[in-house]
Amino acid sequence: MKSKNRNRILFLLVIVAVLFLAVSLYLVYFQLFEADELAANSLNRRNYIDESLVDRGDILDRTGQILAQSQATDTGYQRSVTYSVSLSHLIGYNSITYGKSGIEQSYNDYLLNIQDRDAVGKLRQVVTDGTVGNNLTLTIDHRLQLLANDLLKPYLGSIVVTDAKTGEVLAMASSPTFDSDWIDQNWSWIIEDQTAPLLNRATQGLYAPGSVVKLISAVAIQESGIDQSYVDTGEEMVTGYPFVNYNNAVYGEIGLRQALIHSANTYFANKSLQVGADKMAEVAGRFMIGEIIPFDLSTARSSSPYQSGMADVDLAAASFGQGTTMVSPLNMALVTGTIANGGTMMKPYLVSEIHSPQGSLIRRTTPEVLSEVTSRRNADELRADMQAVIEGTSAAIWSAPVGGKTGTAEAQDGLVHAWFTGFIPLDDRDITVTVVLENQTMTGAGAASPIAAQLFQWIYDNYHHE
Amino acid sequence: MRRPRLAEFVVRSKRREYFSNVKLLTFMFQLLSMGLVLLNTRQALTVNSLVFSGLLIGLTYLSNVLVQRYTKGDNYLIMIANMLFSIGIVMIYRINPALGERQLLLYTIGVGAFFIAYYFLHYTGHFWENKTFFFLGISIAMLAVTLVFGRTLGGATNWIEVAGFQFQPSEFTKITFAFFIAAFYANHAFFKQKLGGSLFLMIATYILIGIFFLQGELGTAIVFFAAMICAMIAFDRSRLLLFANIGLALAGLFVAYRLFGHIQVRFEVWLDPWADPDGRGYQILQSMFAVASGGLFGRGIGLGQPGTIPLAHSDFIFASIIEEMGIFMGIAISLLYLIVFYRGLKISLSQTNPFYKVLALVISMMFAAQAAIVIGGVLKLIPLTGMVLPFMAHGGSSLLASFVMLGALQYSSVEQYPEVALEIKE
């Protein structure tokens, strides 16, 4: 009896010991497999209580203008953006409820000064009172950004201004826009808006390019070494399908330059068949069509229409911009920049410098080659062609020999997307300007070129002899 | 006086060494954790906070020494309790210094109650060993008073106010209930002959559990049931009754689920807290977030956000502690409760007096069950029950009752010579 009694008590001990050990094991399991997801849940108020204790770093533009800063309040720090409408797609919003976007998202670790830490270190650092974030300097010029926004305001579309030599993005506008400082209050109507104000069209909008794509085809023609002369009869038959020029024009005997000046569809339809789909695809790939463009903001992948063995009709149509090609304004700006920059595509960037709160330099972005696209000779020739294209058009300005190409791509309901992409030579560098306007009644030359001209003029006035 | 033999001396000095090691560990924890609290919470080093730290270290040390010197039996119990208490009070003070100071005062009273309980049992001898009906009556009376005069706090009608002080009688009912079971088994032969044996125990326990359900105290009901079942497993022969009880409990739980809205709500929230994350699911989700944010080593004392957890200093103190001290501290706490249970069973095994043999088992089972239920609830392994961790959570009734039970357990560990027969008679 006594030993039985003893065994039963020991049995109880085993049961309870197993119980507590199970709880301990569960704790470890929970930590390893469930904790991360739970801790990151937006309902976990730690995620923003922590951050609101950090003096999030300032964001400045290239002129030293403060674009975003944090102000101390009773409950923590409050974020405010200086030009919160014009810069909403670049700086992004920083909301407790809806998360982050733009630079606020992609450079969050630097802005919180937790860039070098592992997960545990981050948590610990974030909550330590008195943390001050790093300051970012952007390549943006707020004056140019405001101008681009004003010019774009009546339209849906995008403007991208870059430095072809370095890859710096000087302005990047997207319309419609929203006010990042009022994201919480306006969220419901912003996301219901059919025009998608949250979409950064410059990097994530994909448009049929129309004739601007002829710049890429031109490089393919140059590189393939085929005869560049052509006699235009106003029609080019490809396997029974007739391709014609805009307004059914007939240009007679033309070379590549005239073909670009007149934007002759027939020329490119004819030549692309000689170049072949493989070569076209290869050149488009070097121009980052169909590739992911690394950038400080998330980018959409442009889509290339070229594949080996494709039908001649499709190949011909794609060569002058009527195929399934879809490009982002940023991608097109890089294409133009490549031609202006002697055939070398520079990697685009927005953040030029990161400084610690004490002012010491943490990171400086050095210009990087993204893609060696074509030879300097080809590029320079095409560059001169582009200048010839613009001469005497509505994109031209008196002060400098700007070059460019317009495009008009069919959209819905008989409307078009109006494109302009071009560059202005300054003392030792070229600045590219790319404009795309959605759902226009006028062509690229009619709608987009005048906007580009105003930007060129401003750039010349402010950057010449800089 | 007989001089101690060498072997005896070695054993003694070794034990003394253990004791001082445990005391040193407690002291180290208190020093480091209070240091971090003072550094990290912007409390600043006020005279108050330094005096508080000094008192905490001094009082726990004093209780360790006093218990060692003035009581016989198991000296580890108070040390484990002091460690648990220290972990708890550091967290409470870090969340709210005023509550921390109050907790220290309650602790002092609690240690006083420990000695009172110990010496009360010591001097009243074996008087209580056959007062089964007395303990049952007191238990029912306390709960009945609560049911009539009780106030509702946090979903349970389990508070009464006497002369400006708020009490939670269910906490003290645990003491009388433990004595009741002990007295019942000490007089098992009598009950077997006259009153249906274990059936009597079952009916009495179910009456109490029924009252707890009426009050909305699911947790205490489970603790009572666990205590009864364990006593039956250890001291009752009948397997049939045991399984009948488990069946009855499940059926009872089902009936209660259908009958009482508050129990349904607890189950629903447990199954899907995300259905109402800002309302009914709020408490448990905040608790889960805290545990999830802690990591293995915690975010550091004073560096977490236990302020986001409701009742971070009482019902959810386990979650607050894990957030700032980590999963490993959570495991350590679980193991500390397991050691309490182990010591309790060891006492029960070596005790020759049936009354104290049963009492030790029931009390240690109550501690263990309560800890397991609270920890399981906070981790969402089981529904929340509205109980608090013994010795750790803020709350006068719980702390006081826990120390009284610990005092009784301490007295149970004192070797006694049985006046009643050694074995429990059938």
In whole angstroms, what separates CA B316 from the centre of its chain?
15
* pLDDT attached to residue B2: 53
Window B:183-242, CB contacts with A under 8 Å:
230, 233-235
Q: Provide, as residue numbers in chain B, all residues whose Cβ is less than 8 Å from the Cβ of A131.
A: none
pLDDT value at A208 more than 70: yes
Contacts of A43 in chain B (CB under 8 A): 277, 285, 289
pLDDT of residue A129: 45
Set of chain A residues whose Cβ sits within 8 Å of the Cβ of B327: 27-28, 30-31
pLDDT means over runs of 10, chain B (426 residues): 53 64 85 83 73 90 87 86 93 88 92 92 81 86 80 62 72 91 84 76 87 82 90 82 85 83 83 81 87 86 80 88 92 94 91 88 94 92 88 89 93 70 45
Residue B36 contacts A where some CB pair is shorter than 8 Å: no
CA of A35 vs chain B CAs: smallest distance (Å): 4
The verdict on a CB contact (< 8 Å) between B305 and A129 is: no
Query: Chain B residues with CB inside 8 Å of A9's CB?
Result: 234, 345, 348-349, 361
Question: What pLDDT, on the 0 to 100 scale, is given for residue B188?
Answer: 79
Given a contact cutoff of 8 angstroms between Cβ atoms, the answer to whether A340 and A383 are in contact is yes
B296 in A contact zone (CB under 8 Å): yes
Nearest to B293 by CA among B275, B308, B283, B279: B308
First-to-last CA distance in chain B? 44
Gyration radius from chain B CA atoms: 22
Q: What share of chain A has pLDDT > 70, as a percent?
A: 93
| Predicted local distance difference test score (pLDDT) of residue A158 | 96
Which phi and psi angles does A191 have, rounded to 5°? Answer: -80, -20
In a mutagenesis test of the A interface, which of B299, B324, B329, B351 is the best target, namely the one with the most A β-carbons within 10 Å? B299
Burial class (CB in 10 A: 0-12, 13-18, 19+), B17: exposed
Whole-angstrom CA distances from A314 to A223, A241, A265, A429 are 21, 10, 13, 37
How many Å apart are CA A184 and CA A93, to the nearest integer?
A: 9
Residue B153 has a pLDDT of 58
Q: Which residues of B touch A119 (CB under 8 A)?
A: 295
A20 touches chain B (CB under 8 A): yes
Gap from A57 CA to chain B (nearest CA, Å):
22
CA distance A419 to A212: 7
Give the closest residue to B336 by CA, choosing from B268, B404, B391, B260. Answer: B391
pLDDT in tens, A322-378: 888 899 999 999 999 999 999 999 999 999 999 988 888 889 999 999 999 999 999
Rounded CA-CA distance A64/A66 in Å is: 6
Q: Which pLDDT value is given to residue A340?
A: 95
Nearest to A20 among B277, B294, B334 (CB): B334
Q: How far apart are CA A422 and CA A388, in angstroms?
A: 12
C-alpha A73/C-alpha A60 separation (Å) is 22
Nearest CB neighbour to B295, from listed A8, A13, A120: A120
| C-beta separation of A437 from A202 below 8 A | no
Q: Provide the pLDDT for residue B414.
A: 84
d(CA A213, CA A15) in angstroms, rounded, equals 75
Using CB atoms, pick whichever of A9, A24, A128 lies closest to residue B349.
A9
> What Rg, from alpha-carbon coordinates, does chain A have?
28
- Stretch A30-43: mean pLDDT, rounded? 81
**Residues ≥6 apart with Cβ < 8 Å to B262:** B155, B216
**Beta-bridge partners for A99:** A95
Q: Is the model more confident about B280 or about A232?
A: A232
Q: In sequence order, which residues have a C-beta less than 8 Å from that of residue B120 and are 6 or more positions away? A: none
CB within 8 Å of B258: residues ≥ 6 apart: B264
Q: Which residues numbered 161-200 in A keep a CB inside 8 Å of some CB on B? A: none
Map residue A294 onto helix, strand or coil. Answer: coil
Three-class SS of residue B72?
coil
Q: What H or E segment, with its residue span, contains residue A387?
A: helix A376-390
Q: Residue B130: what pLDDT?
A: 79
Partner-chain contact A23 B381, CB within 8 Å: yes
Centre a 10 Å sphere on the Cβ of residue A311 and count the other Cβ atoms it contains: 12
**Residue B46 CB burial class (10 angstroms; 0-12, 13-18, ≥19):** exposed
> A74 vs A53, A77, A252, CA distance in Å?
10, 8, 75
pLDDT tens readout for residues A401-444: 999 999 999 888 889 999 999 999 998 899 999 999 999 988 88
- Å between A100 CA and nearest CA of chain B: 21
> Any CB–CB contact under 8 A between B42 and chain A?
yes
Q: Is the ipTM of this complex over 0.85?
A: yes
Rounded to two decimals, the pTM is 0.60
Q: Do B233 and A124 touch (CB under 8 A)?
A: no
Q: Are A364 and A357 in contact (CB under 8 A)?
A: no
Whether the pLDDT of residue A123 is over 60: the answer is no
Distance CA A217, CA A231 (A): 18
Please give the residue of chain B at the shortest CA–CA distance from A45: B308
Q: Which residue from A218, A269, A260 is spatially nearest to A242, judged by alpha carbons? A: A269
Chain A partners within 8 Å of B320 (Cβ): none
> Smallest Cβ distance to B299: which of A16, A26, A127?
A127
Is B327 near chain A, with CB under 8 Å?
yes
Interface test with B, best of A4, A7, A23, A125 (most B CBs within 10 A): A23
Report the alpha-carbon distance of residue B410 to residue A304 in Å, rounded: 82
8 Å CB contact between B111 and B63: yes
CA angle A299, A301, A307 (to 5 degrees): 165
What is the count of residue pairs from A and B with beta carbons less than 8 Å apart?
Answer: 123
More confident: B323 or A73: B323
Query: What are the C-alpha distances in Å from A350 to residues A170, A292, B139, B226?
Result: 8, 17, 74, 65
Residue A361 is given by DSSP the state E
A49-58, A312-321, B115-124: the lowest-pLDDT one: A49-58
> Is A28 in Cβ contact with B368 (below 8 Å)?
no
Q: Cα separation of B122 and A414, whole Å?
A: 101
CB-closest option in A11, A36, A119 to B233: A11
Residues from chain B contacting residue A35 (CB–CB below 8 Å): 291-295
> CB of A423 within 8 A of CB of A412?
no
**Coil/strand/helix, residue A71:** strand
